[in-house]
Chains A and B, each alone.
Chain A
Amino acid sequence: MNEEKFIAQLIVGDQTAYKLLVEQYGQKVFNTVLGFLQNNEDAEDITQDVFTEVFRSISLFKGNSLLSTWIYRITVTKSLDFLRRKNRKKRFAVFQNVFFNEEAQSSFEPVNFYHPGVQLQNKEQSGILFSAIDKLPENQKTTFILHKLDDLSYAEIADIMNVSVSSVESLMFRAKQKLQNLLRDYYENNLK
């Protein structure tokens, strides 16, 4: 179906079109959100939020980009907003720990997430990698997740993030460097 026609059907509230949208983008949205949040329950909640937002503002979609790009933008924004809220709470908890003299938080949090799409033999190491991904700055994290987990090209990521392809390349390079450093620290502290 033509994308314009599909969007027009979504705008008028066609239930079949909406069902098709959920079927077409459900996995992509859920997979991206899960990569960011690293928690199944939170990912389910945010996926619902994304679709609510998509449907609420579909009439505002101007067609300047592909529908998929627009949906990915909403997904990334919602995921990052959730992480910011969560980190604010976490910072407050750390602040409390410092003042009440409780055990300080380690720089590398224990692994508590295993992505369901990882091969069994890589489960342990991927868990450590996801913990390291969680430590990346927002832009680097977004680039890394969209490229590695969603298999998007640099050009597609550039469209979603509204930056140039060379910026995406540079973000990816820095993300890899930072991950190497984090993993090095982890190795020195836990495996040596």
Chain B
Amino acid sequence: MKDREKWINETLGSIDNIQKAEFPSHLKEKILSNYNSKGRVICIRPFVKWAAAAIILILLGANFYSIVQFRKSSTISQNQNNVFYQEYFSFLNNL
């Protein structure tokens, strides 16, 4: 019983003064060369992503609005032309 408990305590204490494992130099080189070969990883913050999405939406909205406005104005000018033609030809007919 005593031997067992003594052995357990010794085993638990066997890593008490443990040294840190050495960082292999080849691993360091590997990590650094991986980084250098891949180049800088471009990371986009979520805020930037959302801002870009919002700008794209605003641009799409502005385009859509201008198309609608253009169509409206072109129909108005067409109507104005029609009124002019009607008046002009009715005047000619009266003559």
- A125 to B31: give the CA distance in the assembly, Å: 33
- A47 to B27: give the CA distance in the assembly, Å: 9
- Give the nearest-CB partner of B30 in chain A: A48
Q: Are A27 and B23 in contact (CB under 8 A)?
A: yes
A89 at the interface (CB under 8 A from B): no
B32 at the interface (CB under 8 A from A): yes
B15 at the interface (CB under 8 A from A): yes
Complex contacts, A184 vs chain B, CB 8 Å? 4, 8
Scan residues 35-71 of chain B and give those whose CB is less than 8 A from a CB of chain A. Answer: 35-36, 40-41, 43-46
Which one of A76-84, A92-100, A113-121, A165-173 is at the B interface? Answer: A113-121
Q: Are A19 and B27 in contact (CB under 8 A)?
A: no
Q: Are B35 and A55 in contact (CB under 8 A)?
A: yes
A161 at the interface (CB under 8 A from B): no
Q: Are A27 and B22 in contact (CB under 8 A)?
A: yes
A187 in complex: contacting residue of B8, B12, B21, B27, CB < 8 Å: B8
Least Cβ distance of B75 to chain A in Å?
A: 50
Q: Contact residue range for chain B?
A: 20 to 34
Q: Are A56 and B41 in contact (CB under 8 A)?
A: yes
B7 at the interface (CB under 8 A from A): yes
Least Cβ distance of B94 to chain A in Å?
A: 78
Complex contacts, A51 vs chain B, CB 8 Å? 31, 35
Complex contacts, A188 vs chain B, CB 8 Å? 4
Interface, chain A (partner B; CB < 8 A):
11, 13, 15, 18-19, 22-23, 26-28, 30-31, 34, 44, 47-48, 51-52, 55-60, 115-119, 122, 125-126, 128-129, 148-150, 176, 179-180, 183-184, 187-188, 191-192
Kindly list the 4 A-B residue pairs having the minimum CB-CB distance in the complex, ordered from nearest: A13-B40, A117-B19, A59-B43, A122-B14
For the complex with contacts A47-B27, A129-B12, 11 further pairs of A-B residues with Cβ separation under 8 Å are A26-B23, A27-B22, A28-B20, A31-B21, A44-B24, A55-B35, A57-B43, A118-B14, A148-B16, A150-B20, A183-B7
